[in-house]
Amino acid sequence: MTWLLNILEPLLFIAAAPLFAGWIKWLKCLAQNRKPPMPWQPYRDLAKLFRKETLVAEQASWIFYTAPYIIFSVAVLAATVVPFVSVDMPTAEIADVIVLVGFFALARFFQALAGMDIGTAFGGMGSSREMTIASFAEPAFLMAVFTLAVSASTTNLSAAIEYHLAHPHLIHPSYVFAALALMLVAIAESGRIPVDNPATHLELTMIHEAMILEYSGRYLALIEWAAQIRLMIYGVLLANVFCPWGIAQDTGLSELAVGVVAIAVKLAILNMVLVASETVLAKMRLFRVAQYLGFAYFLGTLGMLIHIVVEVGT
């Protein structure tokens, strides 16, 4: 039963990811007084891309052909690590959060290679930028996660969530810092506004779009879908780890229904926060990203320090 659930849950996750991305776009358009595309527009886009002919540059090597499949399958694997609707997923218990970071790094590695493979200027530029940002974002991510790991004494996400549900009245000041740090990293890593603008293909500013400029057809569809899954993984991670209430601890149907509703509500709230910040903020200069992510790293460190100073021994 748990294994069946474990197969169904990532499938639901993958299926819901485009809806989540479309929902953000829909809400953002409404917030900015524009006429929004329907939230399920990304499904139509993906379907269109899958139908279209796939054109590849003559110089492309095997890396270019295989990268989309690797990126997509790694994104799917990463989705199985994060507890989505119910907490006791066997795959989530096998792999911990460091594996999750490793999955992200693997996908990023192949994406950067594929960006450089064709040899156009934009691809190389995008890859170089992506790796620069990643090298700052990864330590910050790990630091935020370590703060969690130290207070729950595990790096396993399921175990950490269960620990929280078992100790509901512990206030963790360190979590506030860890959550903020993770939020900053999530924005940077999923290419949202102060770091990258997902809506444009402007030459000088794009990061993620620059790497996938040469892709078309089903390859592009896979990469886009993987990016949507990654965005949703960050959302679910923030929602479920820092505010685990409502997640199903059983495999009962009513519990699962509650779990689905709970995660939808949490993602909706997170969505509004994201849309508000994207509407208010402007994209920052590339060279300020290091400072921004340095701040995220620092918040993670501060969370760890606060945990050691204030929480240990009380």
Partner 1 sequence: MEPIEAGVFYTQTVGFLAAMIVFTAFVMLAQGKLITLINSFALQGFLLALITVVVAKVLGYRHLYISAGMTLVLKGMMIPWLLRYLVVRMGLHRHVDPAERPVHLMLIGASLVVFSYYVTLPIVRLSMLETRNILAVSMATIFLGMLLMISRRLAVTHVVGFMVIENGLFFSAVVSTYGMPMVVELGIAFDVLVAAVLFGVFFFQIRESIDSLDVDKLNRLREEQE
- Which residues bind to partner 1, rule: CB under 8 A? 168-171, 173-174, 176-177, 291, 294-295, 298, 301-302, 305-306, 308-314
Choice between 57 and 309, CB closer to partner 1: 309
Rounded CA-CA distance 145/203 in Å is 34
Which of 307, 310, 277, 267 shows the shortest CA–CA distance to 144? 307
Task: State the minimum distance, in angstroms, from the CB of residue 83 to partner 1.
Answer: 21
Choice between 66 and 291, CB closer to partner 1: 291
Choice between 208 and 307, CB closer to partner 1: 307
Residue 153 burial class via C-beta count within 10 angstroms: exposed 0-12, middle 13-18, buried 19 and up: exposed
Rounded CA-CA distance 205/194 in Å is 11
Choice between 38 and 170, CB closer to partner 1: 170
Task: State the minimum distance, in angstroms, from the CB of residue 72 to partner 1.
Answer: 36
Amino acid at 171: I
H/E stretch holding 78: helix 62-81
Task: State the minimum distance, in angstroms, from the CB of residue 249 to partner 1.
Answer: 15
Rounded CA-CA distance 230/79 in Å is 8
Choice between 211 and 306, CB closer to partner 1: 306
Contact in structure between 244 and 161 (CB atoms under 8 Å) = yes
Alpha carbon 211 to chain centroid distance? 18
